[in-house]
Amino acid sequence: MRCETPSSVLRDWTPADAPALARHADNPAVACHMRDAFPHPYTRRDAETFIAMATHTPSALMLAIEVDGEAVGGIGIHPLLDVYRGTAEIGYWLSEEYRGRGIATDAVRAVVPLAFDLFPIVRLQAGIFENNPASMRVLEKCGFIREAAHKSAVTKDGVVMDEYLYVLLTPASVRRGPRPSSG
């Protein structure tokens, strides 16, 4: 898949992205906002393992964010299961040196319609750690609303933090309540 935004190209990961991925992801300023599955330090082997998984997981959409011909971040849509099957989670990260240019906002804006087109969902959500107000602003600029504050919900690097849940619903998913019967 390939999708051009005003500031980047969103595209499938390739094995050739491993050196750039390892270089841009190996940063505590990136890792501090990510779940623990995103390692720090982030090695070339971690990059190769992620790319292999990203290119062989048809149940999710995982794309590289490319700027100036190099993968400098990632964005993904992960459908949830069981009673949450109408919901998907969006996640993204960007190299510290590329922040503040609207790249993440452009990427989220481009991926949102893809999420609703590719997956049978009515709800897209993101959990953001309290230490990441920039990511909260990205979501708000893209039409997400803060639905909940989960108090002391995450522990990252030994620090207990709140997590804010941001949500975007499809217009058709807005519930109008029960319809009156006609008989």
Return the CATH number at 151.
3.40.630.30
Query: CB-based burial of residue 126 (10 Å sphere; 0-12 exposed, 13-18 middle, 19+ buried)?
Result: buried
Using the predicted structure, report yes or no on whether residue 136 has a pLDDT greater than 80.
yes
- What six digits make up the tokens of 119? 């997956």
Angle at alpha carbon of residue 98, lines to 9 and 101, rounded to 5°: 80
Residue 174: pLDDT over 90: no
Average pLDDT score over residue span 59-79: 97
Shortest CA distance to 79 belongs to which of 127, 113, 37, 118? 118
DSSP state of 174: -
Q: How many domains does the chain have?
A: 1
- Does residue 176 surpass a pLDDT of 60? no
What is the pLDDT confidence band of residue 154, given thresholds at 50, 70 and 90?
A: very high
The pLDDT of residue 40 is above 90:
yes
pLDDT given at position 172: 64
| Residue 9 CA from chain centroid, whole number | 15
Domain enclosing residue 126, as ranges:
2-171
**Does residue 177 sit within a domain?**
no
pLDDT at 182 over 80: no
Specify the pTM.
Answer: 0.91
Mean pLDDT, residues 58-74 taken together: 97
Establish if 12 belongs to a structural domain.
Answer: yes
Query: Would you say residue 142 has pLDDT above 80?
Result: yes
Q: 17 lies in a domain?
A: yes
Instruction: Give domain status of residue 180, yes or no.
Output: no
HSE-up of 125 (CA within 13 Å, CB side)? 17
Question: Looking at the domain assignment, is residue 36 inside a domain?
Answer: yes
Residue 119 located in a structural domain = yes
86-122: per-residue pLDDT in tens? 999 999 999 999 999 999 999 999 999 999 999 999 9
| Portion of the chain with pLDDT greater than 90, in percent | 92
The answer to whether residue 179 is domain-embedded is no
Is 183 inside any structural domain? no
> For position 173, what pLDDT does the model report?
60
